[in-house]
Structure 1
Amino acid sequence: MDINTELTGGLVLVHPALEHDPAGKQNTIGVIRFADMADDGFYVAFSDHTTALYASDALFVLKSVDEIHHLLVDHGDRLAFPELKALTQLDLTIRYGDGDKLRNALQLAVNNPDIQPLCLDLLKDVIQLQQTNARKR
């Protein structure tokens, strides 16, 4: 399966500090409807039925379940209580939540901006890592 197919249908969060947002959706969850890797273009649909084109450095995705859990275990003692509580809730939501666990976890990140650096990666970085790993195979 290619990376375009893997990304289509995936949840993303529009960068909260995006200066030039074509749809004004900073810090909003959307779904990738089409990925044009050659032009670094990602068509993202939102719950209000709007769609906008973003570059990969304007979108965040959740880190892997294991990575979030390890960050919590390894660095939880250094977090202020509100961040520890939010990150723990996010971890538990991904692992044991009901319904759309990923959307619910991403919503926790939206509601708790201080944990975003701990639980989100830029889509651009994720793609680069996947491409690097694919070349090594």
Structure 2
Amino acid sequence: MTDQELLGTLVLVHPNLEDHPAGREGHIGFITYVDRPENEVYVRFTDEAEAVYPTDAIFLLKDREKIFCPDKAQTNAATLNDYKDLFKIAMLQDKGRSTDIWNALQIARDNPGIWPATLISAEESLGLRSNRYVGR
């Protein structure tokens, strides 16, 4: 995704974020600005408060096909409840309204077991995560 494509996107602040002055861990907001050189994302919340986060502390929903594809033999679900949550998220994404995306983010937030299957960091979405190799 590009910076412009992310503007207005609903996002989830990492629920386990520690020591951030805004104290909005686990809250949902939308992106208002991306500062690529500083690797920062500005997020506005429903109460009009705004906070700045590192790109790896902000999560977006993955594309529906990556979350839940009934045609596949495999699933990203470890349990029946995970499967149900993945299905609900996919159905909400199909509707595509902002309230549905908000609800999908809430479902994902409340089930840490499906985070790897449903969420992608803004850092990864923007292609800022580089491969780091340790060598001699």
Shorter-chain TM-score: which interval? 0.7 to 0.9
Which deviates more from structure 2 when the two are superposed, residues 90-99 or residues 110-119? Answer: 90-99
**1:17/1:26 contact within 8 Å kept:** yes
Q: Does 1:25 align with 2:24?
A: yes
Residue type at the aligned position of 1:105: A
Runs of 4+ in 1 over 6 A off after TM superposition: none
State the aligned residue count.
Answer: 130
Which is helix-richer, 1 or 2?
1
Cα distance in 2 for partners of 1:88, 1:69 equals: 6
Cα distance in 1 for partners of 2:14, 2:70 equals: 21
Cα distance in 1 for partners of 2:76, 2:115 equals: 17
The Cα offsets for residues 25-56 of structure 1, whole Å up to 9 and x where unpaired, read as: 11111111111111112110111221100110
Give ranges in structure 1 of 5+ residues lacking alignment: 130-137
Give ranges in structure 2 of 5+ residues lacking alignment: 129-136
Residue 113 of structure 1 aligns with which residue? 112
TM-score of the two chains, using structure 2 as the length reference: 0.81
Which deviates more from structure 2 when the two are superposed, residues 118-127 or residues 73-82? Answer: 73-82
TM-score of the two chains, using structure 1 as the length reference: 0.81
Q: Does 1:41 align with 2:40?
A: yes
Cα distance in 1 for partners of 2:76, 2:52 equals: 39
Residue 133 of structure 1 aligns with which residue? none
* Identity score, percent: 34
Residue pairs, 1:17-96, within 5 angstroms:
17-70=16-69, 73-76=72-75, 79-96=78-95
Residue type at the aligned position of 2:31: I
